[in-house]
């Protein structure tokens, strides 16, 4: 057992779904916290992260009954790193980020509402990225005369219900399954253990009473350690992503980071892309680790370890992080190969610098060099010229530059914004001037919507 604990890291789990389906509440139940209550309007507006340690998982899932004839359930992973995301329609980028970062997602659906617009959107995001997920069919306590008992395995609990409650459950379950199948999704109840390549598993839950949560977590754990152990095998190679760039009282601008693989320590020199097109090179001054089972985005007490190993959510304190970009990944320049890595980086900068830009053409922006390059490749294939390529959010000065094309070739007076935010005054200026901003978070979607625009021009 200990051997496997050594090389399996905590999987990254992302909770996704339509607004108010109970994503934060589910995590609150798991953490015994009340984060949801402290949110403005009860709406999540940030991506969060919680390190859930193995003892919490053990305690929580001890009531789960193994299927007949099989061994009792044994946890082999050191914990879970669970990310909460907003369900509000305006936060698609955060859902996108979460879905691309995680090893497995939990798609929360309100059993009383079934499939809703951001359920559909989340399914598309997950399918686009090939991210597996488990459906939590939440708010079962709202079924008429539901009898709660979070100390029972869900299967036993369902059997205990009155007949009319069971009937209502079955009806709502099959209606949800039908709606999901209309989205191209085949689903089965988790206890059927159907082939996960063909079926997504459903676990009914209540975030208020706690019913079903043990089964949900057990299913998440099992999925990772049994179906995709290779995916969650710890690797020494650093894999770290910036979730949020923000002020932390007493520490200035810090970054919330998901450290998936590899390790970090105080004094490490980290190198990360900056929104001004210049990489940031800075030293880690402190690693702030929220207490186990506490939300990273909520002010809390932090442990300050000297070093940490993936997979964990951690806040990094360092100078010069102001222009760090959410969603970007970073490197550590360790003594010996520092020079090499810095060279690589300057190469990246060079790539940006030597990307062959035309005098006239579209304006391209993105958060990551890799995906920008893929986009430039597509543009080249279609012989679409680009006049500017930049890393970072779209600000007004970008629009000003892009607007020059209005005089030369108005169909190219466009900004192709890949996985970045558009600042409000930039959008306003664009609308006033007639500069089109195409904003998507996948290369192909962005290219498609831009191509439609070009085709309309050619008609
Ligand atoms: P966003 O982050 O804003 O997308 O919402 P969310 O999905 O995180 O939902 P949240 O946890 O904020 O819950 C929304 C509302 O539903 C709150 O009033 C919760 O108390 C309520 N709620 C959540 N889960 C349940 C549940 O299982 N049963 C019942 N009855 N109410 C629930
Ligand atoms: Mg929420
Ligand atoms: Na909410």
Instruction: List, for residues 441-450, the tens digit of each pLDDT value.
Output: 888 899 999 9
Tell me whether residue 336 is exposed, middle or buried, using C-beta atoms within 10 angstroms of its C-beta: 0 to 12, 13 to 18, 19 or more: exposed
Reported as a pLDDT band with limits 50, 70 and 90, residue 421 is: very high
What's the 398 CA to ligand 2 centre distance in angstroms? 33
Of 36, 47, 42, 40, the residue nearest 86 (C-alpha) = 47
What ipTM was estimated for this complex? 0.99
- Give mean pLDDT, residues 47-70: 90
pLDDT at 118 > cutoff 60: yes
CB 372 within 8 A of CB 348: no
Of 386, 349, 418, the residue nearest 341 (C-alpha) = 349
**Could you identify the residue written with the tokens 């909520």?**
298
Cis check for the bond before 317: say yes or no (omega within 30 of 0): no
What's the 28 CA to ligand 3 centre distance in angstroms? 12
Rounded to whole angstroms, the Cα distance separating 102 from 109 reads 19
**Given this model, what pLDDT does residue 412 score?**
95
Rounded to whole angstroms, the Cα distance separating 103 from 437 reads 32
CB 138 within 8 A of CB 111: yes
- Give mean pLDDT, residues 324-341: 71
Region of poorest pLDDT, from 180-184, 193-197, 264-268:
193-197
* Residue bearing the bigger pLDDT, 411 or 340: 411
**Given this model, what pLDDT does residue 255 score?**
94
- Give mean pLDDT, residues 347-364: 69
pLDDT at 353 > cutoff 80: no
Probe residue for ligand 1, chosen from 22, 43, 116, 209 as the CB with the greatest number of ligand atoms within 8 Å: 22
CB 394 within 8 A of CB 416: no
88 is catalytic: yes
Q: Whose CA is nearest to atom 26 of ligand 1?
A: 139
Count CA within 13 A, CB hemisphere, residue 435.
34
Tell me whether residue 236 is exposed, middle or buried, using C-beta atoms within 10 angstroms of its C-beta: 0 to 12, 13 to 18, 19 or more: exposed
Decide: pTM greater than 0.95: no
- Give mean pLDDT, residues 125-136: 92
Rounded to whole angstroms, the Cα distance separating 107 from 18 reads 9
- Tell me what percent of the residues of the chain surpass a pLDDT of 90: 64
Q: String of b and e for 370-384 (b: at least 16 CB within 10 Å)? A: ebbebbbebbeeeeb
DSSP code of residue 194 = -
DSSP code of residue 86 = -
pLDDT at 370 > cutoff 90: no
Reported as a pLDDT band with limits 50, 70 and 90, residue 423 is: very high
Ligand 1 atom closest to residue 21's alpha carbon, by position in its atom list: 7
Rounded to whole angstroms, the Cα distance separating 179 from 202 reads 13
**Given this model, what pLDDT does residue 343 score?**
47
Q: Judging by DSSP bridges, how do beta strands 386-391 and 362-366 pair with one another?
A: parallel
Within 10 A of 344 (CB to CB), how many other CB atoms are there?
14
- Give mean pLDDT, residues 210-239: 95
- Give mean pLDDT, residues 89-109: 89
What's the 88 CA to ligand 2 centre distance in angstroms? 9
**Given this model, what pLDDT does residue 371 score?**
74
Pocket of ligand 1 from Cβ distances under 6 Å:
17, 19-25, 36, 42-44, 86-88, 138-139, 141-142, 206-208
**Given this model, what pLDDT does residue 354 score?**
45
Reported as a pLDDT band with limits 50, 70 and 90, residue 152 is: very high
pLDDT at 162 > cutoff 80: yes
**Could you identify the residue written with the tokens 């988790």?**
190
Rounded to whole angstroms, the Cα distance separating 139 from 147 reads 13
**Could you identify the residue written with the tokens 């949560």?**
213
User: Token pair of 445, please?
Assistant: 């979607």
Ion ligand 3 neighbours, Cβ < 5 Å: 20, 42-43
Ligand 1 atom closest to residue 205's alpha carbon, by position in its atom list: 27
pLDDT at 356 > cutoff 90: no
What's the 112 CA to ligand 2 centre distance in angstroms? 18
pLDDT at 180 > cutoff 60: yes
Q: What is the CA radius of gyration of the chain?
A: 24
pLDDT at 374 > cutoff 60: yes
**Given this model, what pLDDT does residue 350 score?**
42
* Residue bearing the bigger pLDDT, 154 or 279: 154
Q: What is the distance between the terminal CA atoms of the chain, rounded to a whole angstrom? A: 65
What's the 22 CA to ligand 3 centre distance in angstroms? 7
**Given this model, what pLDDT does residue 4 score?**
45
CB 332 within 8 A of CB 269: yes
Q: Whose CA is nearest to atom 5 of ligand 1?
A: 20
Ligand 1 atom closest to residue 44's alpha carbon, by position in its atom list: 2
Rounded to whole angstroms, the Cα distance separating 49 from 84 reads 6
Among 60-69, 92-101, 403-412, top mean pLDDT goes to 403-412
Give residue 266's region: left, alpha or beta (phi > 0; psi -120 to 50). beta
CB 61 within 8 A of CB 214: yes
**Given this model, what pLDDT does residue 281 score?**
87
Q: Which of 7, 88, 90, 408 is catalytic?
A: 88
Q: Whose CA is nearest to atom 15 of ligand 1?
A: 20
């Amino acid at each position: 057992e200990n051997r496997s604990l050594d090389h399996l890291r905590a999987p990254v789990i992302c909770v996704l779904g339509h607004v108010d389906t109970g994503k934060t509440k589910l995590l609150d139940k798991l953490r015994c916290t009340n984060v949801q209550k402290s949110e403005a309007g009860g709406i999540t507006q940030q991506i969060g992260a919680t390190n859930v340690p193995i003892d919490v998982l053990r305690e929580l899932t001890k009531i789960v009954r193994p299927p007949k004839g099989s061994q009792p359930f044994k946890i082999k992973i050191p914990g879970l790193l669970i990310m909460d995301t907003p369900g509000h329609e305006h936060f698609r980028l955060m859902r996108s980020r979460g879905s691309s970062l995680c090893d497995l997602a939990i798609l929360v659906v309100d059993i009383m509402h079934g499939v809703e617009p951001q359920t559909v959107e989340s399914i598309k995001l997950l399918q686009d990225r090939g991210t597996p997920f488990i459906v939590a069919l939440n708010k079962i306590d709202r079924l008429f005369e539901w009898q709660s008992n979070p100390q029972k395995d869900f299967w036993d609990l369902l059997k205990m219900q009155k007949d009319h409650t069971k009937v209502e459950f079955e009806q709502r379950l099959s209606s949800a399954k039908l709606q999901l199948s209309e989205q191209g999704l085949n689903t089965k109840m988790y206890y059927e253990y159907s082939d996960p390549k063909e079926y997504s598993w459903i676990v009914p839950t209540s975030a208020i009473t706690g019913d079903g949560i043990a089964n949900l977590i057990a299913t998440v754990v099992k999925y990772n350690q049994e179906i995709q152990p290779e995916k969650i095998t710890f690797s020494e190679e650093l894999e770290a992503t910036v979730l949020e760039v923000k002020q932390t009282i007493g520490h200035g601008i810090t970054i919330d980071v998901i450290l998936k693989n590899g390790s970090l320590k105080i004094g490490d020199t980290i190198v990360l892309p900056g929104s001004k097109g210049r990489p940031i090179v800075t030293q880690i001054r402190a690693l702030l680790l929220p207490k186990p089972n506490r939300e990273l985005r909520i002010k809390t007490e932090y442990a300050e370890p000297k070093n940490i190993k993936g997979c964990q959510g951690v806040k990094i304190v360092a100078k010069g992080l102001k222009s760090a970009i959410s969603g970007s990944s970073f490197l550590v320049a360790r003594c010996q190969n520092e020079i090499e890595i810095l060279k690589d980086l300057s190469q990246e900068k060079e790539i940006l610098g030597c990307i062959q830009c035309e005098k006239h053409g579209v304006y391209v922006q993105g958060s990551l060099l890799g995906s920008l390059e893929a986009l430039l490749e597509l543009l080249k294939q279609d012989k679409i010229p680009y006049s500017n390529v930049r890393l970072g959010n779209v600000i007004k000065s970008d629009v000003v530059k892009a607007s020059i094309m209005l005089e030369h070739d108005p169909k190219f007076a466009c900004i192709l914004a890949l996985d970045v935010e558009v600042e409000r005054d930039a959008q306003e200026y664009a609308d006033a001037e007639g500069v089109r901003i195409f904003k998507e978070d996948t290369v192909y979607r962005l290219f498609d919507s831009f191509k439609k625009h070009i085709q309309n021009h050619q008609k």
